[in-house]
A and B are shown apart, each in its own frame.
Chain A
Amino acid sequence: MTPSSAAQRSLVDTVKAAKKDSDAQQPYRELGLADNEYARIREILGRRPTSSELAMYSVMWSEHCSYKSSKVHLKQFGDKVPVEAKDILLVGMGENAGVVDIGDGWAVTFKIESHNHPSYVEPHQGAATGVGGIVRDILTMGARPVAVLDSLRFGPANAPDTARVLPGVVSGVGSYGNCLGLPNIGGEVAFDSTYLGNPLVNALCVGVLRTDEIKLAKADGPGSKVVLFGARTGGDGIGGASVLASASFEAQGKTKRPAVQVGDPFAEKVLIECCLEIFAADLVTGIQDLGAAGLSCATTELAAAGTGGMAVDLDLAPLRDETLVPEEILMSESQERMMAVVTPKNLSAFMAICEKWDVTATVIGEVNDSGRLTMRWHGEKIVDVPPRTLAHEGPVYQRPIRRPYDQDALNGDHGNGLPRPKTGEKLRSTALKLIASPNLADKSWITDQYDRYVLGNTVLAQPEDAGMVRVTDERWRVEHDGEDSKLGLALATDGNSRYTRLDPYAGAQLALAEAYRNVATTGARPLAVTNCLNFGSPEDPAVMWQFSEAVRGIADGCQQLGIPVTGGNVSFYNQTGTSPILPTPVLGVLGLIDDVSRRTPMAFDQDGHQLYLLGDTRDEFGGSEWAYVMHGFLGGKPPAVDLDREKLLADVLINASRDGLIDAAHDLSDGGLFVALAESCLRGTTGVRVIVPDDVDPFVFLFSESAGRAIVAVPRTEEVRFTDMCTARRLPATRIGVLDVLESAIEVQGQFRLPLAELRTAWASTLPDLFG
């Protein structure tokens, strides 16, 4: 039974009726509530819930909104906040997004969130509204959104359904972000067969605000007005939170298509400008966006965090579809809506700004100190609940955990016997095949659909190691003789699901380390972390083991690196049938650079610069791109994690950037050294001549995925200073070659020579050939 047919049957179910007719059968199981959960609702209310209350509990207690399976694990992020990070954390986990202090009176808020299931059902709208949702979270903190990144996972690049899903997702991410005027500055894309029926669309947004302008989601002060503003409420996305995100939808297929929300980026752009003008005039005491669970979530969270009570007249909510019943209005996930708490004194000024921007704004309720959230409909009371029981006191589960039965076999099957290329000719063909493989090939077919220039502050964008934007605004310029600020933010997202499958604790730390390293490679100092944890069903003990190990790995890793987790998102039930996706924690690291003009790009443009490899290269091919592309093999152990080494490498990269000792740098990750060399050459104008060090096997040298490494281009004039710095800090730095403008190739001496033109053709044609 669907919520609407339940509603039609009962017409308007009232609190009075619920008291009188206490034993009526209710479709709680269809709404995703377990027997014990339903019993608890009855216990809280001392009667059966009305159908509206049932709708609200079902969405608020869904996995997506309540984090009921993940909460006990996520607690570690708070428990293990590094000591040195406590001072910069202005707002921690639990709010719409974390806020960190970046000095000079500025603060930054950033978060990554998933929109996986909707993007499979309806790729364009699913991805578009994923961007819209995370942007509203950032806006809700009082910040101006300044950039987005997207982390995408698809089925095999040549699968027919990928040809449906990928172009739709990319156009959705692109059109929504482009139309909002937010530069897309980075992210990643990877392909694996486990994502075929369950792609991942994770969107990250970063916003900038002043430390004294932070807004929180709370309804404070009896008598304050509750204003719903933005788009009208429609029938789209009903039940999205509980149904789409909390259960596999495979069996029902297309029937849930209307459950995907439809986005209107123009409405959101106007809403952003309207909100920022309202914030600047200091007209709200609390604000919340309407995302998952729509009005149910906004009203309960605002009421629960504030004075404690709220009375809402649901008849006043502006509707797109007048036939909607209360249950539907409460569950609708129509986009581009916000809810503000405004004192009576500020109300007319608030309404005037909404009118200026043509934004519909309606007072639908009032804050009170009753401790209850009540709602009326056609004069009847249909909701009367303690709001905390929905927003904060939902069920919490300690799900069973069991190491997968095949884990030992997987780790034991190390793949050391896989045939390796032994001759220069074979190394050359391996290099070409790797660089043309979908995971490593040029992604500009995707990223050229994203505006990276808008707002005029983009210093680095994809395919650079991290995106970087300048932090500046009109107020700064007025205070500084018309000059823009030099302060910059860097952001990178990373995740390697094959490493995580082999060892979820180490795999999650490797993702964290890679994002951290990517930020440092550009010269920025890593500051804080957000994460999007994409996993299969929490009811599968093997998946829950992967999840718990990954969370523990991230929490321990962040503590060791000295950077706090400020927020994020959990996405469970990513599976096709009972087959889960590869465990995919995506880590986003935020960094700070004092002077954006000192950033280090990845391109090799400098003739005669010396090429140095930083870090240690070991024979590590577990979970590697080479094993996957050349042998379709996954087994063994992922590369070793050494977070102290990552910190040391980051220090060297940051200081070398600040002191002008390096002109280019690129991190080593998937595909190893060769892929990094190819990317830096193809991004720039020079070739490179490389020498394999005496004691190293050429294959291991070129393709190993050992962590904690980067390549840098050092001007000859700075070579002594640079190597002295590495020696003093005990970071291994090996000179492996020279940048050469006359050699338009990658020449690995004694092994092979690969002209850049041939390399570029192989690298750049893969995605256009597949997607047109």
Chain B
Amino acid sequence: MALSKYRVGVVTFPGSLDDRDALRAVRLAGAEPVPLWHGEKWLSDVVAVILPGGFSYGDYLRAGAIARFSPAMQSVIDGARNGMPVLGICNGFQVLCEAHLLPGALIRNDHRKFVCRDQRLRIENTETAWTNQYEAGQEIVVPLKNGEGGYVADPATLDALEADGRVVARYLGDNPNGSYRAIAGITNEAGNVVGLMPHPEHAVEELTGPSTDGLAFFTSVLQKLVGIPA
């Protein structure tokens, strides 16, 4: 079956920055990239949605706090509750937390500085719609770049996430932003919604990334949609 018939959308909010990168990653994974506009409720018949990195609305209130109320997000939230795969990267992760599709919150890095570096991660859950092409425990290197990337939640929530295997990726080496339990990404109970602070869409080409380790996030969702078991 031709994968390119699968339309994967990337929502652009005012202040989104990595939307073009996410569209490129979708294309390189073999699907049809579809730009979506935050002001449009209709999601153009896409079968999965990516909320890209950036500073939607300048992050002036709280990162992601305004974007969640956009018309497109209302449709994304409805879709996610019905099982549509949704990946939030960086600012997109913040939007998913603000929209209560994922628990917890992202706060300012503990060292108070923006950080951009090549980050080692361990994939902890290979059952989700976005990670089924990784091997359990696989170590990958993808760029990390954030000012508000510290993942926080109350101890009970963190314990529940760990117990349910909903920690998708964890930082290896120095904790780059003070995230609790070195959490870099989490998923919802159904495994269709994933939030990730690092940027797999910047690690899809040898030429421009530190590796091509990020591409499997985008091929994973296609395998999920095609229905081939991971």
Contacts and interface: CB of A to CB of B under 8 A. Distances in A.
Contacts of A195: none
B57 A266 contact: yes
B48 to A, nearest CB: 20
Contact of B18 (A175, A266, A454, A459): A454
A141 to B, nearest CB: 21
Nearest to A274: B14
A457 B208 contact: yes
Contacts of A178: 55, 114, 116, 145, 147
A470 B24 CA distance: 14
B208 A458 contact: yes
Nearest to B114: A449
A269 B15 contact: yes
A470 B207 contact: yes
Given A171-B113, A448-B115, A181 B54 contact: yes
Contact of B208 (A171, A175, A358, A459): A459
B114 A264 contact: no
Contacts of A449: 113-116
Interface in B1-20: 14-15, 17-18, 20
B116 A450 contact: yes
A733 to B, nearest CB: 29
A482 interface: yes
Nearest to B199: A453
Contacts of A180: 17
Interface in B39-81: 39, 53-55, 57-60
A505 B53 CA distance: 47
Interface residues of B, number: 32
B181 interface: no
A266 B114 contact: no
A451 B116 contact: yes
A165 to B, nearest CB: 16
A452 interface: yes
A450 B117 CA distance: 9
Contacts of B60: 266
A266 B116 contact: no
Interface of A is mostly: mixed
A635 to B, nearest CB: 39
Interface in A345-364: 356-358
Contacts of A358: 14
B149 interface: no
Contacts of B199: 453
B224 interface: no
A735 to B, nearest CB: 30
B139 interface: no
B201 interface: yes
A452 B14 contact: no
Indicate the member of B18, B147, B205, B207 with the most A CB atoms within 10 Å: B207
B145 A270 contact: no
B120 interface: no
A264 B115 contact: no
A179 B208 contact: no
Interface in A266-294: 266-267, 269-270
A335 to B, nearest CB: 13
Interface size on A, as a range, is 20 to 34
A301 B5 CA distance: 52
A456 B199 CA distance: 11
Nearest to B113: A449
Given A449-B113, A449-B115, A482-B27, A181 B208 contact: no
A5 to B, nearest CB: 33
B143 interface: yes
Given A264-B58, A456-B24, A448 B117 contact: yes
B44 to A, nearest CB: 17
Contacts of B166: none
B145 A451 contact: yes
A597 B207 contact: yes
A336 B199 CA distance: 29
A448 B116 contact: yes
B21 A179 contact: no
Interface string B86-105: 00000000000000000000
B207 A596 contact: yes
A44 interface: no
Contacts of A455: 20-21
B202 interface: yes
Interface in A240-267: 264-267
Interface centre among A174, A180, A266, A597 (most CB of B within 10 A): A266
Contact of A171 (B24, B55, B58, B114): B114
Contacts of A456: 20-21, 24, 201-202, 204-205, 208
Interface in B199-219: 199, 201-202, 204-205, 207-209
A213 B93 CA distance: 37
B14 A453 contact: no
Q: Which of A178, A454, A456 has the most CB of B within 10 A?
A: A456
Contact of B17 (A181, A357, A447, A448): A181
Contacts of A450: 114, 116
A181 B21 CA distance: 11
A458 B118 CA distance: 14
Contact of B58 (A265, A357, A459, A470): A265
A270 B15 contact: yes
- The winner among A181, A265, A357, A358 for most chain B CB atoms within 10 A is A181
A266 B21 contact: no
Contacts of B39: 356
Contacts of A470: 207-208
Residue with the greatest number of chain A CB neighbours at <10 A, chosen from B53, B115, B145: B145
A269 B201 CA distance: 21
B40 to A, nearest CB: 11
- Chain A CB count within 10 A is highest, among B59, B116, B117, B204, for B116
Contacts of B115: 448-449
A453 B202 contact: yes
A455 B18 CA distance: 6
Interface in A163-192: 171, 174-175, 178-181
Given A179-B15, A181-B54, A457-B208, A452 B116 contact: yes
Contacts of A458: 208
A181 B116 CA distance: 13
Contacts of B201: 456
Nearest to B204: A456
A356 B58 CA distance: 17
Contact of A357 (B14, B57, B202, B204): B14
Contact of B21 (A171, A356, A448, A454): A454
A174 B21 contact: no
B195 to A, nearest CB: 19
Contacts of A482: 27
Given A266-B14, A453-B21, A597-B207, 10 more contacts: A178-B116, A181-B54, A266-B58, A266-B60, A450-B114, A450-B116, A452-B116, A453-B208, A459-B207, A482-B27
Interface of A: 171, 174-175, 178-181, 264-267, 269-270, 356-358, 447-459, 470, 482, 596-597
Interface of B: 14-15, 17-18, 20-21, 24, 27, 39, 53-55, 57-60, 113-117, 143, 145, 147, 199, 201-202, 204-205, 207-209
24 contacts: A178-B114, A181-B18, A264-B58, A265-B55, A266-B55, A266-B57, A266-B59, A267-B58, A449-B115, A450-B114, A451-B116, A453-B21, A453-B116, A453-B199, A453-B209, A454-B53, A454-B145, A454-B202, A456-B24, A458-B208, A459-B207, A470-B207, A470-B208, A597-B207
